[in-house]
Amino acid sequence: MSFVHFSRTGVDGNIAEIVLDRPKVRNAFHTEMAKEILEICRQIAKSDARVVLLSSSNSKAFCSGADLKERNQLKEDEWRAQHALFEEMYDQLADLKQPTIAVVDGYALAGGFELVLNCDFIVAAKTATFGLPEVTRGIMPGGGGSRLLSKRIGLHLAKEWLCTGCFVTAEEANRAGLLNRLTRSENLQQQALEFAESIAANAPLAVQSCKTSADELFGMPVLEARKQELVHYNVCIDTEDRIEGVQAFVEKRKPRFVGK
């Protein structure tokens, strides 16, 4: 039985879509589901997909985090081994060369919210709810929550969300600067797809260089960041797409980017 579905979508089929599908437990991920997400991300990393959408099969929950019922049955060494798998899953998602968009409706809590935070962009329905309630269970986020949230909403507010374990509405999350798009539930998929298409229409290597550069340079000392930015810039110079982009501009036509 598969708990995660993978397909290609978009006008040119160059958008990869990962759909979480374990609705009876609000998409809580157990060992098998994490393995599926990890393997799909590995496939996407080697593919020609230009953008990745991560969504849920139902509007009640994006993902409620790790399956604590399964975890409660694990021995200490099994728990640690499972968490190592979860870490690998998060890292593989975050390290994809393609820009990733979390498409969120319903609950995105604990490890589920961390899946969202390990994506590049967030499109959410007004009915979405976010939260990192780990402190209420005697633990803390272990998939990037305390590291990534402050980059989105600022340190002081991130500490509040982390240390209180509060639930946050989509409207509040949007005001805090967490989201890229906020829309109605019935428009969520279309909004996300349109956003993905606006990225996929651009030169893939240039987009990937922008993603990598932004991630690497964030918080880097100024002089070092200036040098490293040019490393990523120079990746784009020697490409067919750079020549095509300039030529298309001169000829006043839409560019035909091929990712070379």
Amino acid at 236: C
Tell me if residue 197 is catalytic. no
The four Cα atoms 31, 7, 53, 199 give a dihedral, to 10 degrees, of 150
Phi-psi category of 257—alpha, beta or left, where left has phi over 0 and alpha has psi -120 to 50? beta
Query: Which of these is catalytic: 88, 114, 160, 171?
Result: 114
Tell me if residue 114 is catalytic. yes
43: number of Cβ within 10 Å: 11
Give the ranges where the chain is alpha helix by DSSP (H). Answer: 31-45, 68-71, 76-94, 111-117, 145-153, 155-164, 170-175, 188-200, 204-217, 222-237, 240-251
Query: Which of these is catalytic: 32, 76, 87, 134?
Result: 134
User: Does residue 37 contact residue 89 with C-beta atoms inside 8 Å?
Assistant: yes
> 235-251 burial, b for 16+ CB within 10 Å, e for fewer?
bbeebebbebbeeeeee
Q: Which residues are catalytic?
A: 114, 134
